[in-house]
Structure formats: structure tokens, C-alpha cells
Chains A and B, each alone.
Chain A
Amino acid sequence: MSRPALLSGLSPDDRPTAIAGLFILVILAAGTGYTLSKFGNAPLLQPGYLLQQLQIGAFLGIVAAGMMLVILISQIDLSVPWTVAAGAMTATAVGGPWAIPAGIAVGVCVGVVNGIGVAYLRIPSMIFTLGVNAVMRGLMVAHTGGFAPQTTATDAMRFLAADRTLGVPHAIFMWLAVSVFMVVLLRRTAYGRAIYAIGNKEAAAYLSGVPTRRVTLLAFVICGVCASLAGMLLAGYATKAYQGMGDAYVLPAIAAVVIGGTNILGGRGSYLGTVVGVILIVLLNSVLSIMEMPEAGRQIIYGLVIILMLLVHGREGGA
């Protein structure tokens, strides 16, 4: 099978990342072509615009980081939407210096509950986290009375999400920090090895003395913390929390992880791929909104892009 020469030197794990990267360039080129012909300018190539897109991407990126960890152990976390919202609502409700710790604590709690259900009771994560999501939603609806909370984000939250240093939004630094943490975790620690081992063959990992339950529990905790962190940043960005603020994050996060080459069945994938997947989705969204594509067309293009990327990965993987 002939491959583009550019890709042939890469290891199989990096190839999806490179392909997704190329696709980002295609999106940028197409979007710029459109704006040049229609408006005679090229906003997509301006650093300011790109930084703003990355800032929006940071929220999705942080959610996707946690999601990737869970997908790597062949589980999934569908409690993300309301963990995002609960993290944000708790933080704004608590306020003051304890706002962020309280939000993080919510993420830890959700993660522990998910982890117990999945690792100890061995309930399929697909269904257990769905139930936890429903409970979280119920708690938040009961807490807020079903309306947008009146409380606003603290200064610290706004500083982390919306403020800039040297023109770079702080949210991007947060994403960067989470990313460094993930790369070190997956590549350099015994915990990372255990993650991949469990994703490949849990029974073999267990019989090799890997504490599979603890590893699984911790993965859900990290995912929960990522979700609540993203929620707090999102609240900081929007100055307040709102109902359903996390709904738009779970499926794009899964899509980003998979577009980046992580096997949906677990055990294989590189973190860089996830980052590239997030950028791809965010840019795709922004190009579509520049084109003033109606929601119907956006959904269709969105679906087709995911299928296209996976088809290309499949070919390259030589399956």
C-alpha cells in the first residue's frame, strides 16, 4: 500500500496525529479561501483570532484529557456534562478563596463514585456514569431551582480563564499544564504503564499484580477533576455558571480523543493526538460559523469529518 512519504517514517501511534494535523491545515486553507473570496480578509490566519479559538478549545481540551484516560482503560465517562456544570455551580455558589477547591472536590467526589461503581461493583461504565450524570443533574436542578444560578464567578476563576498575560489567555496555560501532567503521567510513570496494560487485557494486568481497581478508580477521579476544572474555567470565561453548560462537551471530547488516534476500545493512543483532535474540532466549528453554516449543515459536516478521519486512520493502521 502506498502512503504519503511524509507519514511513512512515523510510528503507528503517531500517524493518526500527523493525519489529523494535516487535516487542520486543510480546514484552515479552506476557511481562509472562503473568507478571502467572500470578505477579502483572512481572520483565520491572525494570531489574535487563533489564540481566541485556542482559548475556547482549552475547555474542551481539558475535558478531553480526562476522557482520554478513561477511554484508555476501555471505559467511558458519560457523567462529564453535569460534572462540568456541578463544578462550576458549586464554585460560584461557594465563592471566595474556597471556590476553586470546592469545585475540584466535586470532581473528586464524582470520580470516586464512578470509580467505585465501575472498578469495585464492575458495572459497565457506559451505564453507571450515565446514572451518575442523571443524579448530578437532579442535584443541580434541586440546588438552583432549575434556573441559572445568580452567583457569579470569583476573581480567581476569571483570572484563570479569561485574563491574559502577554496577550495569551490564561486558559491556554491551564490546558498546557494539564497536558504536561498527562504526558508525564502516560509516558513516564508506572501508573501510565498500568493504564495501557489494563486497556489491553485487564485479566493479564490483574494477574501481573497491577492493582487494577485502584488504577481504574484513580482514572475516573482524574477525569472528574478535569471536567470540574473545565467547568470552573468555563464559568470564569462566561462570568457565571448556567444550566446545561456541560452538555456540549461530552460527545466532542470523545470525538476529539478518537480522531487523535486513541482506540475507542482502549489500550492504545498518544496524548498529543488528543490535543490535535481538540484543535481540529474547535477550528472546524469556527470555520463553519464563519461560513454562517446553519446548524443542520454543521451537524452533517461534523459527522462526516469524524467518519472520514476514522476511515483514514483505519487504512493507515493497515487493519
Chain B
Amino acid sequence: MSDLGLRLRQNAYLLSVIVLFGLVYLLYHLAHPKGFSSAVLVQNSNEVFSLAMLAMAQTIPVLMGGLDLSVGAVMTLVDCLASHLLVGTTTQIALGVLACLVTGALAGLVNGCVVVYGRIQPIIATLATGAVYIGLALFLRPTPGGKLDEDINWAMTNALDDFAGTVGLFSDGLPAWFRPIAGVPTSLVLLVLVATAIWVPFRRSVTGRAVYAIGSSEQAAYMSGLDIKRAKLTAFTLAGLLAGIGGLFLAIQTSSGNADIPQAGGYTLSSIASVVIGGTSLLGGSGSAIGSIFGTAVLKVISFNFRIFDIAPLLQPMFEGLVLLSAISLGALRMLRVKNQLELFR
């Protein structure tokens, strides 16, 4: 088989998810009165960003064959922290952002330590640490509130030209090269940036490969001389960082902090759904965070369509559930084609 053919076959699922997303999103824009406009794009991108970060974060433990039930809690914790810190001078805000990211990463590192040194299954360890993080978030924000710096909200949740305007770039008129991309949502650019600056290098690093190896067969990974402890600690830390970025953006987007327990749980569960729709195996070893981003996109775009096609709000939750169920059932149809039933148990 040719290399291209092999590559296509190995990524066939991801490609079909991307195509599905493209089609549904096209439908959305066609039906939207202001379809194909920058404003709609900006709004969609903002709605997708935080969940996409959480889905990327979730991908990493899932690749190792585990599950992180604390991503929503880490997001909430950072959200509440950001609602206190992202005010004041530019330096103060910058330090605040840094503190938020460090907090996310630290929370992830703690997860990693509990899993590695406590030898507790990730799913149950993060169930427990998640409760702790939610508790901390509640200490920070017993009731919803806070007021973030307005400029950062404006800069991050609009199109690139607004970003440029807020930070004072191009004060003497937009340059020609910038004009075609002026309407691109800042959050979309940020999403691409995180994917290329964090995920891609991680995927090609020894630690990243160790993450795939652990999910594929932890024993074989150990026998192959990989440093499993370090890989797990790094992986959970990275997951925490990504969830923290999600929380940071949520705070910026809503301009406030809210230690909302059901919302944290909902985000965690949606992140798992996104990861699965994105083609990462819950058994570990195969998949990618890029797939999870598209998984999030598919999930979100479907609910965008509900708004457009004016489905009674009361029926929306049910349709969302049905769509999720049918999406994963469609993915499972290949199981029915398996002719050697032993392969079902791998």
C-alpha cells in the first residue's frame, strides 16, 4: 500500500469528522440571516474556545487510557481566580494571566502526583481532586461576581482588528496584509496558536510519544525503557494548563467568575463527548487533540443549528442528546462489521 493510502486510511475517521463539521457548519451559515459574516464567526468561535481547550486537556489522560474528571473543576478554579486578578495595570493583568496559567498547571501536576505516587486510577483520583478544586473555587467566589478589565474582554472576544485596536497596533491605519484577516476572530487565532505551539511539539516530543505508548500498553512501555512517571506527571500538568487556559478565557468572555458546580460537571462531560467524537479511543493509545477540537466543533455546531432552525427550546436538550447518541452509534457501526468477535475485546 502506498504511504499516502496508508495515511488516509489511518486518519479516515478524523477526515470524516472534519467533513461532517464542514457540512453542518455550511448549513448553519446558509440558514443564518447574517451567515458568513465576521460577527457570527466571532460569536461561534468564542462559544467553542473554552470547551475546545477542555477537550484538548481531556485528550491527554484519555490517550493514556485514563480519564480526567477534574478538567471542569480546574477551569472553574482558574475562572474564579482570574475574576480577582485580571484587573488593574497592564503589568498586573499580565502577572494575573501568568498566575492563572501556573495555577492550572499546578492543579494538573497535583492530579499527576496523586495518580503516579498514590497509585490511584486517574478517573477516581480526579473525581476527588475535582471536588477539592471546586471547593477552592467556592472559597474564591462564594457567589458569582467580579469585574474583569474591559479592554482585555474586548480584545480577546472580538475580531483581530478589534484586538489590534485595543492593544494599539496599526494606529495609523490597517496595513494591506492585515485587511484580509481583520475579521478573523481573535479566539480562533488563539485556538490555532495553542494547537500549534503546545500540541504539535508535544506530539513530536519523547514525552508525548510516551503518553501514546502508555495508553497502548503500559507494561510494554516500561519494558521499552520509557520514563513512565515523568511522562504521566508532564501529561497531567499539560492537561491542567490547557484546562486553565479554558478557564482564563471563560473569565475573560463572561467578564466575571462563577464557581458553578453543575456547569463544571457539564463541561467535563462535554469534554469527554468531544474527545470521543474526535476519534480518540477511550482505551488509550490512539487519537489526537486536533481531533478533539473538531469533536468540540461538531458538538457545538449542532446546537448552533438548533437555534437557527428554531426548535422549541424545551425540545433542544433532547435533540442534543439524540444527536450525541446517534453520532457515537454511527461511529460504532463498524463494530457490527467486525467478523472476528475476539477483536471486539481488545
Do any beta carbons of A and B sit within 8 angstroms of each other in the complex? Answer: yes
A134 neighbours in B (Cβ, 8 Å)? 317-318, 320-321, 324-325
B315 neighbours in A (Cβ, 8 Å)? 138, 142
Give the number of residue pairs across the A-B interface with Cβ within 8 Å.
Answer: 149
Q: B321 to A121, Cβ gap below 8 A? A: no
Interface hit among B26-34, B91-99, B129-137: B129-137
Q: B114 to A307, Cβ gap below 8 A? A: yes
- Which B272-326 residues have C-beta < 8 A from chain A? 272-273, 276, 282-283, 314-322, 324-325
Q: B120 to A307, Cβ gap below 8 A? A: yes
Docked CA distance A255–B123 (Å):
11
Interface hit among B165-173, B200-208, B328-336: B328-336
Q: A206 to B345, Cβ gap below 8 A? A: yes
CB-nearest residue of chain B relative to A141?
Answer: B317
Interface centre among A134, A135, A145, A310 (most CB of B within 10 A): A134
Q: A128-B328, A255-B127 are in contact. Are A299 and B321 (CB under 8 A)?
A: no
B342 neighbours in A (Cβ, 8 Å)? 203, 206-207
CB-nearest residue of chain B relative to A317?
Answer: B119
Docked CA distance A298–B134 (Å):
10
Interface hit among A11-19, A36-44, A289-297: A289-297
Q: A294 to B329, Cβ gap below 8 A? A: no
A121 neighbours in B (Cβ, 8 Å)? 329, 332-333, 335-336
A side interface size, CB within 8 A:
52
In the assembled complex, how far is the CB of residue B283 from the closest CB belonging to chain A, in whole angstroms?
A: 8
Candidates A78, A131, A299; contact of B138 at CB < 8 Å: A299
Candidates A117, A138, A145, A311; contact of B320 at CB < 8 Å: A138
CB-nearest residue of chain B relative to A315?
Answer: B119
Candidates A135, A141, A203, A307; contact of B129 at CB < 8 Å: A307
B118 neighbours in A (Cβ, 8 Å)? 307, 310-311, 314
Docked CA distance A296–B336 (Å):
47
Interface centre among A139, A146, A206, A303 (most CB of B within 10 A): A303
Which residues of A come within 8 Å of B, CB atoms? Answer: 78, 117, 121-124, 126-128, 130-139, 141-142, 145-146, 202-203, 206-207, 244, 247, 251, 254-255, 258, 264-265, 294-304, 306-307, 310-311, 314, 319
Which residues of B come within 8 Å of A, CB atoms? Answer: 67, 114, 118-121, 123-125, 127-132, 134-139, 142, 259, 262, 265, 269, 272-273, 276, 282-283, 314-322, 324-325, 328-329, 331-333, 335-336, 341-342, 344-345
